[in-house]
Structure 1
Amino acid sequence: MNRLLIVLLGIIFLAACSGKSSKPSDTPTSGNITITVDEALKPLIEAEVAAFESIYANAHIRVIYTSEEEAIALMLKDSARATIVSRKLVPEEAEILTKQQYKPRQLKVATSAIALIVNNNNGDTTISMGDLKKILSGEIQSWGWNHPPKKGNSAGMEVVFDQPNSGILRHLKDSVIRFDTLQKNWFALKGNSEVIDYVSKKPEALGLIDVSWISDRDDSTANKFLDAVRVVRISEDSGSYQPYQAYIAQGRYPLKRDVVMISREAKSGLASGFMSFIAGEKGQRVVLKAGLVPATMPVRIVEINRDPISISPE
């Protein structure tokens, strides 16, 4: 009888231990997880993580900032619970998770944009979409292609971007013009801040960055970057526009792109909680303050009439 009781107690103990181990070690508002993020989106996600952890003291999110391709690859290999990039999974990537018996959750949380920047001594402050396509295809490789050279733009053009496997380049290939190889005057650096630094020192450079690095006018680092370089206008038939929040929201700025969070969680854990936070009111206010366009709340656009006020005589 005693032996039978011991066996039963042992079975109950093992079942209890098994039940505990099957539960997630984190909740939507607590625990420790790792996520991956396209480095181009770092200013926005740093702000979102800081806001989330300030509200939920028991939540700790470790972020790996890397290229878009590597960020997705790490998530697919289960080295990260979620990823934040500028596109949704392609069918082949989604199939990898399906075979692992996961159904990925994919949610657009903001709209950002690609900004073109030049040296402060470069006289070219506007590039048409037609000329941008020629730059991407390699047809244009020097400044002053449509006018006599100005100060700082008589040399050959250097096009610099954040890193190999760049999500910025991938977006330009998908949305502007297809180019299979990079031109000899194209250079990958090690991040968006390095692109800004390089352009600030090279009058012949054209930089490609995510606008989140320069869009928060209350951020001292963003203002420092804006002082170091000049943001190029993109022109189309409807006019020329810089990547301001209002123009991105209205669809006037042509190089806008989505910010998408992808989670591989089978149950509702910390990644799901963070996704809900970013998509909710508090997280969308962080997006708004960062100078980007929220996905789930309207942007108030105020148009200022700069025409002089005429006062009719009495």
Structure 2
Amino acid sequence: MQSNFRIYQLFILLILTFSCQEEKNNNNNNNNDNDVPEDTPVKGKIHIFSESSFKPAILPEKNTFEGIYTNAKIDISFTSERSAIDSFLRGKTEMIVVGRPLNDKELSPFKAKGIKVIQDIMAKDAIAFVLNKNFPDSLLSLNQLRDILSGKVKNWRDISPSFPLGKIVIAADQSNSGNLFFLKDSLGLDIKNIEIFSADSVAGVIDYVKGHSNAMGIIGVSWLSDADNIDSNDYYKQIKVAGLYEDDKEKFSLPFQGNIADGSYPLKRNIYLIYSGARTGLRTGFASFILGDRGQKIILKTGIVPAKMPGRDIEFKYE
């Protein structure tokens, strides 16, 4: 009887010991889960937001990065500039790609919480104005452009008798496109009362301009600039790209890579990579890749201008 009681005591002791050890292990696991970040610079999953104009620039970066670091997954939502910035401000994402830096008012909540916001220039591109393939002249002065975008001039014939009849229709991918806000700030315009045909996408803008002789489309030039991209080549064949000039028509400039780089094309802009620096993670790894030599070579290939010129690899052969 006493032997059975001792066996029973030993059994209870083993159960208690096992339970305590399991609880300790669970606590350790919970602590480890809290200590280990959800992602690392080369592993994990993030969701970023990008202004749709910059899709041809950011998508090759994502695809190349994921190809190198197979444990990394980057989801991108392409949207308007305002929507991307709002998503960042509301904490829906920790990284955005937009055409302007955040202003002091937008940065103030982060400063109040002691959170560092990093705003890097990843590239330079430009606004391109596209016209119907049969448009008689593809050169516009900046003053003519101001008159059109401000609503002062509403018909093409008011600019030149050789231009087509009819009302000027301005087409953009979205009515609240960052392209329009950039033009507003750059040209000092009030665009609140301007009628914009919202084509929902850059492809929609191209299609609309292709089918309407009186239309002028506004797009980011990266959609046209990559000579190796089938879509870019196809778009370019369907429309005319307007050249811009100040006063002398002979000194017009097209939104080509060299003209953006040397500043001769007037409506160029920076592309900003904005992200939270609260901790190191996949977004900081992705940012380092984009701003590094390999990422900047990708930018160069797309036909826009990298923030810093990547190095060239030269092989010397000795005999």
Q: Same fold (TM over 0.5)?
A: yes
What secondary structure does 1:144 align onto?
Answer: helix
Cα pair distance change 1:298/1:30, threshold 3 Å: closer
| Partner Cα distance (2:302, 2:39) in 1 | 29
1:220 matched to 2:230? The reply is yes
Cα pair distance change 1:31/1:298, threshold 3 Å: closer
1:210 matched to 2:225? The reply is no
Identify the match of residue 45 of structure 1 among 55, 58, 62.
58
What secondary structure does 1:44 align onto?
Answer: helix
Report the equivalent of 2:245: 235
1:27 matched to 2:37? The reply is no
1:174 matched to 2:177? The reply is no
1:127 matched to 2:168? The reply is no
What secondary structure does 2:226 align onto?
Answer: coil
| Partner Cα distance (2:18, 2:201) in 1 | 64
Report the equivalent of 2:205: 195
- Larger helix percent: 2
| Partner Cα distance (2:35, 2:311) in 1 | 43
| Partner Cα distance (1:100, 1:227) in 2 | 51
Amino acid at match of 2:162: P
Report the equivalent of 1:312: none
Amino acid at match of 1:222: S
Deviation at 1:46, TM superposition (A): 1.0
Q: Which runs of 4+ in 1 moved over 4 A?
A: 1-13
Identify the match of residue 262 of structure 2 among 241, 250, 273.
250
Range with greater deviation from structure 2 (140-149 or 228-237): 140-149
8 A Cα contact 2:168 2:216, kept in partner? yes
Which runs of no fewer than 5 residues in structure 2 stay unpaired?
1-12, 313-319
Report the equivalent of 2:297: 285
1:264 matched to 2:276? The reply is yes
8 A Cα contact 1:127 1:232, kept in partner? yes
Which runs of no fewer than 5 residues in structure 1 stay unpaired?
301-314
Amino acid at match of 2:97: I
Q: TM-score under structure 2 normalisation?
A: 0.87
Deviation at 1:12, TM superposition (A): 6.9
1:70 matched to 2:83? The reply is yes
Range with greater deviation from structure 2 (10-19 or 217-226): 10-19
| Partner Cα distance (2:193, 2:113) in 1 | 35
8 A Cα contact 1:215 1:292, kept in partner? yes
Cα pair distance change 1:299/1:187, threshold 3 Å: farther
| Partner Cα distance (2:101, 2:36) in 1 | 29
Q: TM-score under structure 1 normalisation?
A: 0.88
| Partner Cα distance (1:57, 1:11) in 2 | 35
Number of equivalenced pairs:
297
Amino acid at match of 1:43: P
What secondary structure does 1:214 align onto?
Answer: helix
8 A Cα contact 1:265 1:271, kept in partner? no
Identify the match of residue 276 of structure 1 among 288, 292, 298.
288
Deviation at 1:288, TM superposition (A): 0.3
Cα pair distance change 1:9/1:146, threshold 3 Å: closer
What secondary structure does 1:41 align onto?
Answer: helix
Report the equivalent of 1:143: 156
Task: Give the structure with higher Rg (CA).
Answer: 2
| Partner Cα distance (1:42, 1:215) in 2 | 13
Amino acid at match of 1:75: F
